[in-house]
Structure 1
Amino acid sequence: MNIAQFRKLLATAAGRRELGIEMSSDEAAVILADDELTVDAHDAYERNSSAATLVEAENDSSLGASTSAAPRRWKGWMTAATVGIGVVLVVAIAATVSIGSATSAPQSHSAAKTGTHHAEPRKTAAAAADPCDKYSLKQAYDSCKSGDLTSADKMQSDYDNGTGTYAPTLPGVGSTLTNSGATITVTGAADASTVTWNNSYFRQGSGNETYIDKPPAAGNKFFIVTATVTNSGTDSMDMTCSLPVEFKAVSANHQNFDPIDDLYNVKSNPECNHLLEPESSEPMTWVFEVPNDADIVGAYFYATFTTASQAQIFTFDKNYSITAGT
Structure 2
Amino acid sequence: MIRPAPPGHCPAYERYAALPKAHLHVHLEAAMRPGTMREWCAEDGVEVPPLVDFPHFTGFLDAYGVLISLLHTPERLGRLLDEVVADAAAQGVVALEFASIPDKSAAFDSAEEALEFILPAASAAGRRHGVWTGAIVSIDRGAGPGHALEAAGLAARFAERGVVAVGLVADERGNPVADAAEAFAIAREAGLGVVPHAGELAGPEEVRSALDLGVDRIQHGVRAAEDPRVVAELAASGVCLDVCPSSNVILGVYPTLAEHPLPTLLDAGVRCSIGADDPLLFGVDVVDEYVLAHEQMGIPDAGLAGCARASIDSSFAPADLKRGALAGVDDWEREAGQLPG
Is the TM-score greater than 0.5?
no
Specify which structure has the higher proportion of strand. Answer: 1
Which of the two has higher C-alpha Rg?
1
TM-score under structure 2 length normalisation: 0.23
- Please report the TM-score for the alignment, with normalisation by the length of structure 1: 0.24
Greater fraction of residues in helix: 2
RCO greater where, 1 or 2, for CA within 8 Å and sep 6 or more? 2
